[in-house]
Structure 1
Amino acid sequence: MKSVSLYFTSLLTTALFFFASAASFAQETITATAWQEDLKFLQQTVHKEYPFLFKKVTAKKFDGEVEKLHAQIPTLEPHEIKVGLTRIVSMFAYGHTQIPFSTLAKEAVLPLNLYHFEDGIYVEGVQKGNEKALGAKLLKIGDTPVEEALKAIRPVVPVENDQYFKAYGLRFLTVPSVLHAQGVISALVETIPLTLEKNGTTFEHTFTSVPLSEVSRDYGFTIPNAQWLSVRDQAVTPLYLKHLNEKFYFFEYLADTKTMYVRQSSVFSDEKESLADFYTRLFEFIDKNEVEKLVYDVRLNGGGNNYNNKALIKGIMARPKINQRGKFFYIIGRNTFSACQNLTNEIENYTEAIIVGEPTAENKNFYGDTRKVTLPNSTINAYLSFAWWQDMAPWEESEWTIPHIAKTMTFNDYVSNQDPVLDAAMNYTETGFILDPMNHLTQLFIAGKYEAVKSAGMQIANDPRYKYYDFQEEFSRAGFRLLNGGDTAAGIFILQSVVDFYPESVGALFNLASAQEQAKQFDGAKKNLQKIIDLEPNTMTGRSAKNKLENLNKQ
């Protein structure tokens, strides 16, 4: 039987894992001892059958949290225990490994849909009766500012990376049981006031909970119907949303620019047309028509069967007229996950695609494919991953695929049906743009063009098209590699450059000071440690700098 990376979108997860009412009733009436037995059963199962999941979290930390929850259970309400169990499973930080969202949300969610745009979190959709809130920016939940609320709910979400949290975690903000268990609201109530801002006016609107089954959304967006309203102007549909709830995939030829646009929102075959047949039809059209550019959009693709990817990769590689830089563009985003991460890895490895959009929701190498573990007393189902998918080198620890060209949507872009991500692909020109900035800087450095390194590095560090590159981290690693390899001057040069690029970063200053101390450049180290203390005297970094400086002064 073929193993596949499972496809988890919000509503599919909900549909697959609804619990029968009898099981729900059982969860509400079992004793504290029975809950504790379930927790221990989960712990023992993980240690016995899934010890390989201790990759991002240690067994010691996991066991510590288990013991903490075990001690708390007699004082907790059933919904708090469910949230606690979900937190335990989410510690592994792999999106497939989870207690499903519906376990917590089935009985009650707030009747709104939130979306995290570039300029904030907005009410993207509402159930009728809440029109006043539609299109408003979220400021507070109860008395808790939204940023604090996000931090509070994050441990409940199986967060693989920040993009996963944006795509699949934001909905937890609408679940009263989660909000209460995580301290966002002080009591478990059916009605919750939100503080919102719209058209320059701040106001409060109270939402009354509804069953999860009443929610109308997919791919993170509201599906308008007789009961639900979307903030987006429905008169026009941008390409990335076209046929979204009718077809898993489609293509459209844009004759004026000789561009083939493809949107694929699943790696499963549609019942109306298999993926193999779709790929055949796509490539036949490309071969028979004047196609000068291919834009392949998987920003909403949550996965499926990654064995379906091969035909697409082979088809692209066999067509050099489109598989070349500047001719092939691949759009990714926060919903790009699971088998579509495998597809993205293959696109990156084997094609000349220019990748555009936001980072993916999945690590490049990841644990996927789950087995169900049913807790004996509560009958809650946990899904634990067992398959390690490694498309990249074993030392590849990238938390996501980042685009060559970073582009996201603002709230106004979405409302007015603009697509700046597609525009970035359509309007791309080679002039002045560096697709691989780290390699570019490395080549300049190897050539001894140190001033060019500084000049180009400063420009790249401040270019929003590269905003997902962690240049500070990458540069710092490079500096320490040179330093530890015996090239002290080069290592210090790179780390000093990082400080020049990021003058407000105490982390960059601390790295430079540590390198200077290692190189016995004590005067420089002391000077930079003092800068850290002046900038952040009361933070952990500031206290560490103070201790280092005191030790250096004693020498």
Structure 2
Amino acid sequence: MPATAAISKPRRSEAARLRRYAEATHPRGWIAAADPAWRSGWERLAAEADAMTPDAYLMGLMEQLAWFHDGHTTMYVDGRVGPSGMIRAPGFDLTLPIAASPFFDGLYVTAAKEEGAPLLGARITRVDGVAVEKALRSFAEMWPGNNPTRAHHDADLILRPAVLRGARLAAPAGVSAPVTVEAEIGGSLVKAVLIPRPDAREALIPLSRKPFPVETWRPGPAPNFVHANDHALVIAFDRLFASKDSILAFVREAFAAMEAPAIERVVLDLRRNDGGDNRMGEGLRKHLERSRFNRPGGLYVLIGPHTFSAAQNLTSRIERETWAVFVGEPSGGAPNHEGDATPFQGDGFKAYVSTLPWFDSHPYDKRIWTMPDIAAPLRFADWTAGRDQAMEAAFAHVNDQPLDDLSEQHTNYSERPSQKMEWKPFWRL
């Protein structure tokens, strides 16, 4: 089937069904139904739907779902929920022979092959003539997420031809049209014309770099692990959707390690945890609350844009119940958010809509993220050099705050000064 082939079922009626499904399913669906902006957006899409290319139509649906500012109410372009949950419409299988990673200071090509090879290690400056900062700002406006970190986390998706063309991030062109990427490396400009194809991302050559210490501490293939580093105990909790038995074994190992007299602080690393079953974090959380580390200077939690869903639940509960200091970058979720999404089956796609509110902070907490108390943004030079600024800060920080459960900063935690800070990566300047 060619990339411009129409999806078989009438799109206008399909869009109307998805709209009704979202209004009936999402906890804030009734608010959406009464909002003129929600209604007019769907009406505009319905009027154009049957004449649109598949990529434009599906990105149009995505933009409407973004009204909820909910990272669970979305559609998946990549394989993070498995092949069955991905968009399977024409053109969405096409990729380019590069992969890019977002950093605080730019979007860098971190793997490449063939015609993309000259871009390896370069900072992308333009995509099909559009400044990458402008493209990402446009992407953030239409991409479902609780906050701007979601668009930052997913920035590589602007290099998916179906997203680039369908969301109109660059000049109009067919989804199979070549994509010109301009970049800067070592003070020199480089340009490559990339051809979309289904196998473009197979066997990419990664950029050589020095690993972070936490990457070298992992003892084996298990996603979660514990590592004692001098007087600090690092608990790397990367996955909440592993088997119950494996998580229980990991948590028991953490409990035992916390008993070592030499350990003076715990560093809980949630930066690579994008969720799962939030009940799987409860045992560790409650143990930390009752432990000798629940004091100023005893507990540090590393967070970032990948900290999402059940990992955000864990973050919010620890923030509410402990003296933890948060280090890194803003979390990918909001302290009060919706989740447990169920799928709407469309023609060639699934759209997921949240069903339950997960409010782990107080009802007045309107934050869109958990901000770090100690900001340690990830920059490209640190990543290539293997320098983990967030981990270093958690090891070195001295917290002389008094242990006062009645302090304003502890009781009114959502209003503490760090939560008023801004986050300005390169594309939000």
Which of the five TM-score ranges fits, normalised by the shorter chain?
Answer: 0.7 to 0.9
Aligned: 1:151 with 2:137: yes
Aligned: 1:161 with 2:147: yes
Trace 1:400-549 onto structure 2 (pairs within 5 A).
400-430=369-399, 469=421
Q: CA deviation at 1:242?
A: 5.2
Closer, same or farther in 2 for the Cα pair 1:336/1:439, shift >3 Å?
Answer: same
* Helix, strand or coil at the partner of 2:341: strand
Trace 1:266-415 onto structure 2 (pairs within 5 A).
266-270=239-243, 274-320=246-292, 322-375=293-346, 378-415=347-384
1:247–1:270: 8 Å Cα contact kept in structure 2? no
Residue in structure 2 matching 1:197, options 161, 180, 184: 184
In structure 2, what is the Cα distance between the partners aligned to 1:311 and 1:233?
A: 36
Query: What does residue 108 of structure 1 align with?
Result: 94
Q: So what's the TM-score if we normalise by structure 1?
A: 0.67
Say which is worse superposed, 329-338 or 142-151, in terms of deviation: 142-151
Q: CA deviation at 1:93?
A: 1.5
Calculate the aligned-residue CA RMSD, in Å: 3.2
Q: CA deviation at 1:244?
A: 9.8
Say which is worse superposed, 72-81 or 49-58, in terms of deviation: 49-58
Residue in structure 1 matching 2:173, options 187, 191, 201: 187
User: Residues 277-311 of structure 1: CA distance to partner in whole angstroms, max 9, x if unpaired?
Assistant: 21111111221452112111001110111111221
Query: What does residue 250 of structure 1 align with?
Result: 225
In structure 1, what is the Cα distance between the partners aligned to 2:216 and 2:308?
A: 18
2:33–2:39: 8 Å Cα contact kept in structure 1? no
State which structure, 1 or 2, has the greater radius of gyration over its C-alpha atoms. Answer: 1
In structure 1, what is the Cα distance between the partners aligned to 2:408 and 2:313?
A: 24
Closer, same or farther in 2 for the Cα pair 1:195/1:129, shift >3 Å?
Answer: closer
Trace 1:18-167 onto structure 2 (pairs within 5 A).
28-30=5-7, 34-50=10-26, 52-53=28-29, 59-101=35-77, 102-103=86-87, 106-127=92-113, 129-167=115-153
Q: Greater helix share, 1 or 2?
A: 1
Structure with greater contact order relative to length (CA < 8 Å, sep ≥ 6):
2
In structure 2, what is the Cα distance between the partners aligned to 1:265 and 1:468?
A: 27
* Helix, strand or coil at the partner of 1:394: coil
User: Residues 381-403 of structure 1: CA distance to partner in whole angstroms, max 9, x if unpaired?
Assistant: 11110010011111211101111
Q: CA deviation at 1:210?
A: 3.3
Query: What does residue 83 of structure 2 align with?
Result: none
Query: What does residue 504 of structure 1 align with?
Result: none
Name the count of aligned residue pairs. 405
In structure 1, what is the Cα distance between the partners aligned to 2:165 and 2:401?
A: 51
Consecutive unaligned residues in structure 2, runs of 5 or more: 78-85, 424-429
In structure 2, what is the Cα distance between the partners aligned to 1:151 and 1:158?
A: 13
Q: CA deviation at 1:200?
A: 0.3
Closer, same or farther in 2 for the Cα pair 1:468/1:372, shift >3 Å?
Answer: same
One-letter amino acid of the structure 1 residue matched with residue 325 of structure 2: I
Closer, same or farther in 2 for the Cα pair 1:127/1:57, shift >3 Å?
Answer: farther
Q: CA deviation at 1:132?
A: 1.3
Q: CA deviation at 1:349?
A: 1.3
Q: CA deviation at 1:429?
A: 2.0
Consecutive unaligned residues in structure 1, runs of 5 or more: 1-23, 217-226, 444-456, 461-465, 472-555
**Moved beyond 6 Å, runs of 4+:** 24-27
Q: CA deviation at 1:106?
A: 3.7
In structure 2, what is the Cα distance between the partners aligned to 1:439 and 1:347?
A: 17
Q: CA deviation at 1:366?
A: 0.5
In structure 2, what is the Cα distance between the partners aligned to 1:87 and 1:354?
A: 35
2:23–2:33: 8 Å Cα contact kept in structure 1? no
Percent identity, please.
23
Q: CA deviation at 1:258?
A: 1.7
* Helix, strand or coil at the partner of 1:114: strand
* Helix, strand or coil at the partner of 1:401: coil
In structure 2, what is the Cα distance between the partners aligned to 1:51 and 1:281?
A: 38
One-letter amino acid of the structure 1 residue matched with residue 358 of structure 2: W
Aligned: 1:178 with 2:163: yes
Q: CA deviation at 1:174?
A: 1.0
Q: CA deviation at 1:55?
A: 5.4
Trace 1:4-19 onto structure 2 (pairs within 5 A).
none
Q: CA deviation at 1:96?
A: 0.6
Q: CA deviation at 1:467?
A: 8.9
Closer, same or farther in 2 for the Cα pair 1:57/1:109, shift >3 Å?
Answer: farther
One-letter amino acid of the structure 2 residue matched with residue 259 of structure 1: A
In structure 2, what is the Cα distance between the partners aligned to 1:147 and 1:293?
A: 39
1:251–1:261: 8 Å Cα contact kept in structure 2? yes
In structure 2, what is the Cα distance between the partners aligned to 1:55 and 1:414?
A: 43
In structure 2, what is the Cα distance between the partners aligned to 1:244 and 1:175?
A: 35
Q: CA deviation at 1:49?
A: 3.8
One-letter amino acid of the structure 1 residue matched with residue 186 of structure 2: N
Q: So what's the TM-score if we normalise by structure 2?
A: 0.85
Say which is worse superposed, 103-112 or 156-165, in terms of deviation: 103-112
Closer, same or farther in 2 for the Cα pair 1:151/1:54, shift >3 Å?
Answer: farther
One-letter amino acid of the structure 2 residue matched with residue 130 of structure 1: G
In structure 2, what is the Cα distance between the partners aligned to 1:27 and 1:134?
A: 31
* Helix, strand or coil at the partner of 1:108: coil
